Structure 1
Amino acid sequence: MSNHNFEKETAQARYTGLKIKEGDILEIVVSAFDEIAVKPFNLSTVTSTNITEEESSGTVNIASRYTVSSDGFVVFPVLGKLYCLGMTKLQLKEDIEHRLKVYLTDPIVDIRLVNLNINLIGEVKSPGTKTSTNERINLFQALALAGDMTDAADRTNVKLIRYSEESKKDSVVTLDFSDASIVNSPYYYLQQNDIIYVEPDRNKQIAANNTNPNRTLFWQLITVAVSIAALLVRFTR
């Protein structure tokens, strides 16, 4: 059996960056050497007198939050409407910094997605929509948000459903959580509104049904509930 350095393999897993989508909430903070000149470019700037000894007389910029509109824009102070649909954070950062150079010297823009939504259904302990404030979330971290898989789960046959803005349809891939190479998968890091469906282990179902015939009806009801949940998630997107 080969040994795997999970920390190294995880670090090497492909991560191309999230594409900004409608409804995303972006935290955008502008900073520059001139603290006075930068104030108009942050939605919320407050003065505090009781922070820390180091900051007791300073000005603190509260992270400004912007919601991406249905037509792909955010409305930014001074700069106005900025189109960002389909852009990565880096692309939007560079665009805003370029525009700010008309007003500021060496502006720095920090952007963070604060509402990454992942839908976990099927054989997980706490199914439903989970929101992560960490935009770089991987499969195992998402699974942890749902309390891990149930004992009846098939860890070798997990479906990841991802909607494509380009093709306007879903793509479905099958993932094996028992395979160490999953950390090298291009699907290892999740994107906004991904759906993870953990299928039941059919062999465990058969064994359980042989022990208790009433479990056949139980699994039929579970299948119907999962199907309804998947439809609700899709229509509320």
Structure 2
Amino acid sequence: MYLQHEDELSERDEIPRDTILRIHQMNITEYRIQPLDILSVNFESITDEEYDFFSKINPQRVGAGINQTLSGILVDTDGNIEYPVIGKVNVAGQTVFEAQERIQKIANQFLRDAVVRIRLLNFRFTVLGEVNNENVVNSYNTRITMMEAIGMAGGFGELADRSFVKVIRQVGNSSEVHYINLLEEQYIESSYYYVQQNDIIIVPPLKQRTFKKYFASNLGLWTSTLSAALFIVTLLRQ
């Protein structure tokens, strides 16, 4: 059972209905833009198109059916995106809303009643191991819980160890390794409750997996070997 609190499920009849049992403070961290992220930056204004140089270079104005990540703006290795006239704008380390506000101020200098909208196009994470569909998941939503991430990978396999899930998280130029327990309710307050960009989630198997997977075939092999040995012994005795 996921997110258990002590042994309350052993006394289900005593759990009150329609009542708040506990409140957990969520450790929500807004995603911050990193180098090599791909952004959708959309400008709208009432400025005449002939004077609106943003509209001429807006990568979102492309044909339908084209992969949006191919039409987005790539953040360079120094954390900048670049436009004609205004030059480079540094957005690394900022949340999407902070970057949006920064570019909004710049756009206001050139456009009338400008509206700037930014979205991250390449938010992704990888789920491997004892899940029903190992996958690299791409999403436009940057606030995905670990439970949702596992669900996007088809859910846990029957013999997945839900109490010892490994998370490899990229932080700057380093990677942090952490193990999480999805069976404890207190996990809701963990900084790993939400998936981050480029997370690698590895679900290990329970120890019973190897036994269950190979027992039947091994038993057949042992039985065949024993039968052959008994047959040889019988022939030698005759």
TM-score calculated relative to the size of structure 2: 0.69
Q: Does 1:123 align with 2:130?
A: yes
CA deviations 1:51-104 (Å, max 9, x no partner) are: xxxxxxxxxxx9972111223221235422222222221221121122222223
Pick closer, same or farther for the CA change 1:190–1:210 going to 2, 3 Å: closer
CA deviations 1:17-47 (Å, max 9, x no partner) are: 112122211111123454758843241576x
Q: 1:156, CA displacement in angstroms?
A: 0.8
Pick closer, same or farther for the CA change 1:206–1:79 going to 2, 3 Å: same
What is the number of residues matched between the two proteins?
197
Q: Which is worse superposed, 33-42 or 118-127?
A: 33-42
CA deviations 1:186-206 (Å, max 9, x no partner) are: 22121110010111112x236
Gapped regions of structure 2 (runs ≥ 5): 1-7, 9-14, 62-67, 220-238
For residue 98 of structure 2, what is the amino acid of its counterpart?
Answer: Q
In structure 2, what is the equivalent of residue 58 of structure 1?
Answer: none
For residue 26 of structure 2, what is the amino acid of its counterpart?
Answer: A
* Structure label with greater radius of gyration: 2
Pick closer, same or farther for the CA change 1:195–1:208 going to 2, 3 Å: same
CA distance in 1, matches of 2:181, 2:48: 51
In structure 1, what is the equivalent of residue 39 of structure 2?
Answer: 26
CA deviations 1:136-171 (Å, max 9, x no partner) are: 222122112211111110001111110110xx3211
2:159 to 152, 158, 170: 152
Q: Does 1:102 align with 2:106?
A: no
Q: 1:5, CA displacement in angstroms?
A: 8.7
Instruction: Provide the aligned C-alpha RMSD in A.
Output: 3.5
CA distance in 2, matches of 1:126, 1:209: 18
Preserved contact between residue 20 and residue 87 of structure 1 (Cα < 8 Å): yes
1:79 to 61, 68, 86: 86
Preserved contact between residue 9 and residue 183 of structure 1 (Cα < 8 Å): no
Preserved contact between residue 158 and residue 174 of structure 1 (Cα < 8 Å): yes
Preserved contact between residue 30 and residue 38 of structure 1 (Cα < 8 Å): no
For residue 88 of structure 1, what is the amino acid of its counterpart?
Answer: T
1:189 to 194, 198, 209: 194
In structure 1, what is the equivalent of residue 75 of structure 2?
Answer: 68
Preserved contact between residue 42 and residue 60 of structure 2 (Cα < 8 Å): no
In structure 2, what is the equivalent of residue 229 of structure 1?
Answer: none
CA distance in 2, matches of 1:25, 1:187: 23
In structure 2, what is the equivalent of residue 205 of structure 1?
Answer: 209
Pick closer, same or farther for the CA change 1:205–1:25 going to 2, 3 Å: same
Gapped regions of structure 1 (runs ≥ 5): 47-61, 216-237
Secondary structure in 2 matching 1:200: coil
